[in-house]
Amino acid sequence: MTNISQPLIEWYSRNKRDLPWRETKKPYNIWVSEIILQQTRVNQGIDYYYRFIKKYPDLKSLASTHIDELLKVWQGLGYYSRARNMHHTAQYLVNKNKGVFYSNYDDLIKLKGIGDYTASAIASISFNQATPVLDGNVYRVIARVYGIAESTQVKSGINKFKEILNKLIAHKNPGDFNQAIMEFGALQCVPKNPDCENCIIKSVCFAYNKGLISDLPVKKQKVKQKVRYFNYLHIIYNDNTFIEKRTEKDIWNSLYQFPLIETKKEYSLIELQKNKDWLQIFETLNLNIEKEVFTKKHILSHQVLVACFYKIRIIQTTDFLINNYQSIPLAKLDIYSIPRLIEEYLEHINK
């Protein structure tokens, strides 16, 4: 087995991008960057990293913030459990570890929101531990170079990749090796149409020499998307509107939204007005519903939301609204963390 460690580290030193989290090895900063970058492209994460570090420069400041304020910083990034877990972990470390970050893989992986990848990344970059990372980039590079057709969706596959990585990782600078192979996967050994002719390790690459670049790595089976129908009620009462915090074990947990009526199929306004949830909310109120509605097909990783927004003016409120929703001034809406879908609705009506 040809060891590609040294060529990759040299390639990295010449080609690495200038990224803000590469200016430090402080475990807090590395942690923040690694969580932000989970399933997220670098370009999407950079601004979030700057804002996050500026507002929360250390564990203490993060631990003492309110989760709603943190989620507002996270708004638009997706996978909001990442922010909730970070908040929990910051408070845990401040309360139980004097605000000092854990400094080795075995301790790091015990923390909420930190799995094998993130524990390995922090341990190697911040503490020089030889713990190889296995992310989507590494999976692709190793599968192609060494011709591994096993999937990381099963434990045996993960072990196979880890075994190879443990032989490759540079013990002198494991953090550089980990970042090098990830950067190589992100810039050179890309998923589609990689520029193999200009690759420094093409001569030892199994997939290149066998013409199997498009067959490796073995692709994950894609999940089918469930379709849901969301009818949002943007209710205006004087200068107030009604919102609620999502608390179910579902999408957008802990984010805010307008009163929602979810239906089994697409409903017209006429049909919706006969719905029992609608009748419960409005009782026998006189409604002034604006003609223009906003519709959007919102795509999530596992769901398609067919959304319809109605702007409804009322001159009198109902017990149900008061008891089940927060009434807030219209102008205060933007301090709450809301899903991208609702943000798009607000952008639409404010045009």
Q: Which residues bind DNA (CB under 7 A)?
A: 19, 21-22, 33-34, 37-44, 76-81, 85, 112-119, 121, 135-137, 140, 153-155, 179, 182-183, 185-186, 190-192, 219-220, 222-223, 226, 250-253, 298-303, 339-341
Q: Tell the smallest beta-carbon distance from residue 53 to DNA (Å).
A: 15
Minimum Å gap between C-beta 249 and DNA is 7
Q: Which residue, 256 or 282, is less far from DNA as judged by CB?
A: 256
Of 321 and 341, nearer to DNA (C-beta) is 341
Give the residue with the Cβ less far from DNA, 250 or 319: 250
Contacts with 86 (C-beta within 8 Å, 6 or more apart), sequence order:
31, 32, 35, 62, 70, 113
SS3 3: coil
Find the shortest distance in angstroms from Cβ 153 to DNA.
Answer: 5
Min dist CB 167 to DNA, Å, is 21
Cα distance between residue 277 and residue 262, in whole Å: 9
State how far the Cα of 313 lies from the Cα of 288, in Å rounded to an integer. Answer: 5
Which residues are identified as catalytic? 34
> Does residue 256 contact residue 246 with C-beta atoms inside 8 Å?
yes
Query: How far, in Å, are 295, 308, 331 from residue 292 at the CA level?
Result: 10, 11, 21
- What is the secondary structure of 97-127 as a DSSP string? STTPPP-SHHHHTTSTT--HHHHHHHHHHHH
Instruction: Give one word for 211, left, alpha or beta, with left for phi > 0 and alpha for psi -120 to 50.
Output: left
Q: Which is nearer to DNA, 231 or 254 (CB)?
A: 254
The number of CA neighbours under 13 Å toward the Cβ of 268 is 2
